[in-house]
Structure 1
Amino acid sequence: MRWIVLVLLFFGMMINFADKSIIGLAAVPIMEDFKLSYAEWGLVGSAYYWLYPVTGIFGAAWADKVGAKKVLGFLMLTWAVLQFGVIAITALPLLIVYRLLLGAFEGPFSPVAYSHADKWFPPKQRGFANSVVVSGATVGAMIVAPLLVAMITAWGWKYAFAALGLASLVWAVAFKFLTKESPVEAYEKAKKKAAPEKFKLKDLKYILTSRVALFTTLAYFSTYFIVVWLATWLPLYLVEVTGMSNGQMGFAVAAVGIASVVLYMGVSVLSDAVFKKTQDWKISRVYVTGGAMLIGSLSMLSILVFHNPIWVITAMCLAKGLTYAILPIGPTIMINEMPERRGLMTSILTSSGNLAGIVAPILTGFIVNLAATKIFGYNLSIAFMAVLVLIFSALFMIFVRPTEQVQSDESELSEQVGS
């Protein structure tokens, strides 16, 4: 059952990020249809994240109370409705409202998915499990880009969006009938579960004062600048700066996605292996992840020096793959600090990180709009992101010292199934 859950979470994350990234892949026809400037386009990209951090926290707290399965199914159904509703969009204000609502209902998915995967896997496999969930994001955002571009070209951008709505509907039905809420339910050995404890002020105080929570969240936040930039601006960058056609751009985005999946899954597997051997959270989760982020940020900075298109794609692969290491490992670190608040801890991480989603598209849009040349504007945005990751990954490695939980790999799952 755990593998069925993991596979469906992978596909759910794939749909989530396809919803996010298709707006970037359809940037040219949308901007032409509505006569948008770069600044207005940055506003469209930012609108997705205006409610995302808030709903992420409340949605995850709701999942802790009523169960992740119910919440994930409900979220998918709302995505389907919103994506079908794209057909009615006729002006910029409606486009912004659509992106605002889609972000609001997609905000809780990542933290709830991480928490749900964590529930099904023992500690020694959680880095891998979360990396599979995160890889769904890369597949949705980048690897399926040629397919999404083909759909946009053949059907028009509105019907391509509606096709993703259909995918959401299919997923909701599959998740309803093929999965269980937890190993307890799957093995049918538990009595009626006690209601979770109410949130206490001391929990909030811990979150606000913990160096682990603070610097893990800042590292996640810095990486999310790259997440959002790749989804919103990379297609335009490849077309306008490197001179690629739309078809070439689609395959280049897919290549970056494929390579990055291999890289950050490799980092996650390495982190799990080091943890299994040493049982040391600092070495296995912090140093391995932070070191990967440092290398990734330096790779992104190299684009400012070496402009060859082949190297640009190579550097993007390294930057995305290595900086993304925090996405699967970050939730593992946060949950380890407060296991009884899984949903809350992952939502604090992802929602705080997604604040970058509000800033990054608008900031990039204004930089490109105001710069003397497009190339100079794009380079400034790339330099800003790379330096941000460089600084916060270094702080992450210096200040984060996770709590060492004394518990065997299988004991938590054994307790859940009534062993």
Structure 2
Amino acid sequence: MRWVVLVLLFFGMIINFADKSIIGLAAVPIMEDLNLSYAEWGLVGSAYYWLYPVTGIVGAAIGDRFGAKKVLGVIMLVWAVLQFGVLAVAALPLLVVYRILLGAFEGPFSPIAYSHANKWFPPKLRGFANSVVVSGGTVGAMIVAPVLVALISIFGWKIAFACLGATSIVWAIAFQFLTKENPVKAYEQTKKKKKAKLEKLKLKDFGRLLVSPPALFTTLAYFSTYILVVWIAVWLPVYLVEVVGMSQGQMGYGVMIIGIASVLIYMGVSTLSDRMFKKNQNWRISRVYVVGTSMIIGAICLASIMIFQHPVWVVAAMCIAKGLTYAILPIGPTIMINELPERGGLMTSILTSSGNIAGIVAPLITGFILNLAGADEILGYNLSVLFMAILVFIFAILFLTLVKPTIRKQEESLESQASGN
């Protein structure tokens, strides 16, 4: 059953990121149909993130209380309604409202998915499980893109959006009928205790937890990596063409190679972390040291492309940099959940919301750096790369030296028993 849950969460993440990326793939026909200026299109692009961080936290808290199965099913059906609603969009205001609502209801998916996977898998497999969920985002944003482009070209952008809505309905039905909320009855034995803890959680205590080293520096490491995530999504294609000198075709293959290789790398790091944890049961060695070291190496590789800008090296370095820095994405949620297990969705929502804040500020930072460079665009792009490398390096060092996860041997034993069947 747990593998069925994981596969469905993987496909759910694919749909989530396909919903995000299709707006960019359909930019030209949308702007032509609705007669939008670049400024208006910028408004459409940013509207998605206006409520995303807030609803990510609120939705995750609701998921903790009412169960991931119910909440994920509901929000996926809302996605379907919104995607079918695009058929009625005929002007800018409706398009902006659609993007705001889509972002609001997609915000909770990632934290709830991480928390749900954490529930079904024992500690020794959680890094791998989360890496599978994370990889769904890469597939949805990069590998599914040609399919979406084909749909847009053949049937038009509105029908393509509606097709994603139909996919959401299929997923919601499958998730309700093929999965369960909890792994085994052993997990139910702790349910009353966890509900009691949910009621006793105070805002002041939660605030203290968020500024504790494990939560604070894990969040900052996650945030720094998401700056790179957004840069890769928005600026990498332009960087490969204008700075590295690739053709459009070479750029396309380069982006695809980086996406596939990085998935294999961060899944490998997650598997290594899981195996080390299985052997030594030491959170600091198996989780913090492995991820922190990976991020530091990744930051150095990222910085190296400023010096060595041969296309082959740039693609290779980006594969390594993206794969190693992304290690915090699957492992970070396990560390956060460990600090407050009964509020797993809420804790992971802190991470995902920090990432979404990065999604808002990262394009602005890169644009500011490019403006500082003036006419020398190559210098501007290289400075943006250096900025990200330094940011990841600093927060990786802080993560590596200051994060000491809480030891919960008894709870891990119970959860292993619950997740083992």
Instruction: Flag the 1:416–1:307 CA change in 2: closer, same or farther, 3 A.
Output: closer
C-alpha contact 2:187 2:415 (8 A) present in aligned 1: no
1:319, distance to aligned residue in structure 2 (A): 2.0
Mapped pair 1:384 → 2:387: yes
* CA deviation vs aligned residue, 1:337-358 (integer Å, no higher than 9, x gap): 1112211211122212321111
C-alpha contact 1:208 1:214 (8 A) present in aligned 2: yes
Measure the CA separation in 1 of the matches of 2:188 and 2:24.
46
SS at match of 1:304: coil
Instruction: Flag the 1:117–1:283 CA change in 2: closer, same or farther, 3 A.
Output: same
Q: How many residues align?
A: 415
1:372 is matched with: 375
- Structure 1 unmatched ranges of 5 or more: none
1:411, distance to aligned residue in structure 2 (A): 2.8
1:374, distance to aligned residue in structure 2 (A): 4.4
1:40, distance to aligned residue in structure 2 (A): 5.8
1:403 is matched with: 406
More displaced 10-residue stretch of structure 1: 148-157 or 47-56 = 148-157
1:250, distance to aligned residue in structure 2 (A): 4.3
1:248, distance to aligned residue in structure 2 (A): 5.2
C-alpha contact 2:143 2:256 (8 A) present in aligned 1: yes
1:87, distance to aligned residue in structure 2 (A): 3.7
Match of 1:341 among 338, 343, 351: 343
Taking the TM superposition and a 5 Å limit, the aligned residue runs for 1:71-86 are 71-86=71-86
* CA deviation vs aligned residue, 1:248-286 (integer Å, no higher than 9, x gap): 554433222111110000000111111112221111111
Instruction: Flag the 1:232–1:89 CA change in 2: closer, same or farther, 3 A.
Output: farther
Instruction: Flag the 1:213–1:60 CA change in 2: closer, same or farther, 3 A.
Output: same
* CA deviation vs aligned residue, 1:354-387 (integer Å, no higher than 9, x gap): 2111112333345556742544443333332222
What TM-score does the superposition give when structure 1 sets the normalisation length? 0.89
1:204, distance to aligned residue in structure 2 (A): 1.3
C-alpha contact 1:122 1:412 (8 A) present in aligned 2: yes
More displaced 10-residue stretch of structure 1: 147-156 or 288-297 = 147-156
1:145 is matched with: 145
C-alpha contact 1:282 1:402 (8 A) present in aligned 2: yes
C-alpha contact 2:295 2:327 (8 A) present in aligned 1: yes
C-alpha contact 2:183 2:418 (8 A) present in aligned 1: no
Instruction: Flag the 1:27–1:169 CA change in 2: closer, same or farther, 3 A.
Output: same
More displaced 10-residue stretch of structure 1: 349-358 or 39-48 = 39-48
2:68 is matched with: 68
* CA deviation vs aligned residue, 1:23-67 (integer Å, no higher than 9, x gap): 344455556665544x66555443322211110111011011111
C-alpha contact 1:24 1:233 (8 A) present in aligned 2: no
1:406, distance to aligned residue in structure 2 (A): 1.6
More displaced 10-residue stretch of structure 1: 390-399 or 232-241 = 232-241
1:166, distance to aligned residue in structure 2 (A): 2.0
> Percent of aligned positions with the same letter in both sequences?
70
1:305 is matched with: 307
1:19 is matched with: 19
- Structure 2 unmatched ranges of 5 or more: none
More displaced 10-residue stretch of structure 1: 4-13 or 352-361 = 352-361
Measure the CA separation in 2 of the matches of 1:296 and 1:306.
15
Measure the CA separation in 1 of the matches of 2:36 and 2:382.
25
1:93, distance to aligned residue in structure 2 (A): 4.5
Mapped pair 1:260 → 2:275: no
Taking the TM superposition and a 5 Å limit, the aligned residue runs for 1:27-46 are 27=27, 29-30=29-30, 34=35, 36-37=37-38, 43-46=43-46
Mapped pair 1:171 → 2:171: yes
Measure the CA separation in 2 of the matches of 1:240 and 1:30.
26
1:220 is matched with: 222
1:103 is matched with: 103
What TM-score does the superposition give when structure 2 sets the normalisation length? 0.89
Measure the CA separation in 1 of the matches of 2:31 and 2:381.
18
SS at match of 1:183: coil
C-alpha contact 1:190 1:416 (8 A) present in aligned 2: no
Taking the TM superposition and a 5 Å limit, the aligned residue runs for 1:347-362 are 347-362=349-364
C-alpha contact 1:143 1:253 (8 A) present in aligned 2: no
SS at match of 1:328: helix
SS at match of 2:410: coil
Match of 1:363 among 357, 365, 368: 365
Measure the CA separation in 1 of the matches of 2:418 and 2:177.
25
Task: Say what the alpha-carbon RMSD is for the aligned residues.
Answer: 2.8
